[in-house]
Structure 1
Amino acid sequence: MNYKLYLVTEESVPIEELLRIIEEAIKGGVTLVQLREKKTTGSSFLKKAKSVKELLTRYDVPLIINDRVDVALAVNAAGVHVGQSDLPLSAVRIIVPDSMIVGISVSTVEEAKEAEENGADYIGVGAAFPTQSKSDAEVLPKGMLETIANAVSIPAVAIGGINLRNIETIRNINLAGVAIVSGIMKAENPFEAAVAFRKAWD
């Protein structure tokens, strides 16, 4: 699994616009897409997931579904990503097939180690920097991102407030990649934004 440039979608975007942004971002170098819906009904989420999955299949880019294990199974997504307050990782592992990757958000060394022990395939570590995308996200203390990434042997992806100015400061940490929300979703040109992030990261 290539976690280099991990796009996390924004819920407020209408489906046609969402598909356009995702397609442009993939052309620009996005390697993985997580469909994140927090307030959407199950049926709307499923409909959106099917459309996104169809698009991603054409480009051979994996789809990760946020939180909703049922939606991930229904659209045969590549994986599911859960938070600390969602269904426990150990329970998710029982429900999903072995072929499905499971990621979890962590913000401490303890959470990261527990995630690895419970069978997580990767961890999302954050918030790396102050972020507008998630109102309740606390920024990690200085040096914590590196400490967490080094505490486990599974891939670690940094998330939260990452932009082209601060990406340099985390590039040499033991990370598998960076997860971007606003930097691509709100960009005037998602293709150029993705190209720029890939260039900065590579």
Structure 2
Amino acid sequence: MPALARLHLITDTRPGRDPVAVARAALAVAGPRVAVQVRVEDETSDRDAYDLALRLVDECAAVGACCLVNDRLHVALAAGAAGGHVGALDLPVAAARRVLGPAAVLGATAREPGSARAAVEAGATYLGVGPCYPTSTKDGLPDPIGPPGVRAVAAALDVPLIAIGGVTAARVPELVAAGAYGVAVVGALSGAADPGRATSELLRGLPR
């Protein structure tokens, strides 16, 4: 199973964004220290999601980085991604594990120790914990849990926690101090004037 990167770039496919260019800039700086999670809007067709995933799998492979696909596990398999990530309204973790197989990376979303423990027991490789702070990149999210919420999950489980939701370079140290293995970002890179430089700033707060 590939080593889990500490910085996860989640693609932003909203109008006016260029997820491939952002990923390419991040990968040029970070190489295998960044993982790319392909996430598309609900209305995006499977064909378009597949085309994007295929391009990003190739971009990641060129530098030895891991590429995952969120939600659409059939797209992950078809594109040759290293695995996937499922949220609360996607396939249950145990079902996702059966789809992807035993060797794939599988992330699951959690926000408190009970659901986190259940996800790990069902086969999750790592947990996406959050939202940690207010964020506008995804609608309908529950209230932020902050570093104390990350700390509660970290105290209960010994698996990598990827903190997500409103993460900025300035907030990375307090999340790591709370027990996060790494962080996942959308707007911190997709909205940056210089995604490569923004990647370096995020990495500065993460363990190597």
Query: TM-score range, shorter-chain basis?
Result: over 0.9
- Counterpart in the other structure of 2:200: 195
Gaps spanning 5+ residues in structure 1: where?
A: none
Report if the CA contact (8 A) 1:81-1:104 is conserved.
yes
Q: Say whether the 8 Å CA contact 1:3–1:178 is kept in structure 2.
A: no
Tell me, which stretches of 5 or more residues in structure 2 are unaligned? none
TM-score with structure 2 setting the length: 0.91
Superposed counterparts of 1:107-122, under 5 Å = 107-122=111-126
In the TM superposition, residue 142 of structure 1 has moved relative to its aligned partner by 6.0
Q: What is the CA-CA distance between 1:165 and the residue it aligns to?
A: 2.5
- Counterpart CA distance in 1 for 2:88 and 2:72 is 14
Residue 33 (structure 2) pairs with residue 28 (structure 1): no
Tell me how large the CA RMSD over aligned residues is: 1.6
Change (3 A) 1:27 1:13: farther
TM-score, normalised with respect to structure 1: 0.93
Q: CA deviation at 1:13?
A: 5.5
After TM superposition, give the deviation of residue 70 of structure 1 in Å. 0.4
Q: 1:179 aligns with which of 173, 178, 184?
A: 184
Q: How many residues align?
A: 201
Q: Which runs of 4+ in 1 moved over 4 A?
A: none
Deviations 1:66-119 (A, max 9, x none): 001100110111011000111111111112222211110111211101011111
Are residues 44 and 31 of structure 1, via their aligned partners in 2, closer, same or farther at CA, if it must alter by over 3 Å? same
**Cα distance in 2, alignment partners of residues 142 and 22 from structure 1:** 27
Equivalent of residue 168 in structure 1, options 161, 169, 173: 173
Q: Secondary structure at the match of 2:58?
A: helix
Is structure 2 residue 66 aligned with structure 1 residue 65? no
**Structure 1 residues 54, 26: CA separation in 2 closer, same or farther (over 3 Å shift)?**
same
Amino acid at match of 2:101: P
**Matching of residue 49 in structure 1 with residue 53 in structure 2:** yes
Q: Which stretch of structure 1 is more off in the superposition, 19-28 or 64-73? A: 19-28
Alignment partner, residue 134 of structure 1: 138
- SS state of the match for residue 114, structure 1? helix
Offset at residue 155 of structure 1 (A): 0.9
1:89 aligns with 2:93: yes
Query: Taking structure 1 as reference, are residues 191 and 141 closer, same or farther at Cα in structure 2, changes over 3 Å only?
Result: closer
Q: Which one scores higher on RCO, CA 8 angstroms, separation ≥ 6?
A: 1
Q: State the identity as a percent.
A: 27
How many Å apart are 1:120 and its aligned residue? 0.5
Matching residue of 2:14: 12
Q: How far 1:14 sits from its partner (Å)?
A: 6.6
Which amino acid is the alignment partner of residue 60 of structure 2?
Answer: L
Give distance in 1, aligned partners of 2:47 and 2:189: 26
Decide whether the 8 Å contact of 1:159 with 1:179 is kept in 2.
yes
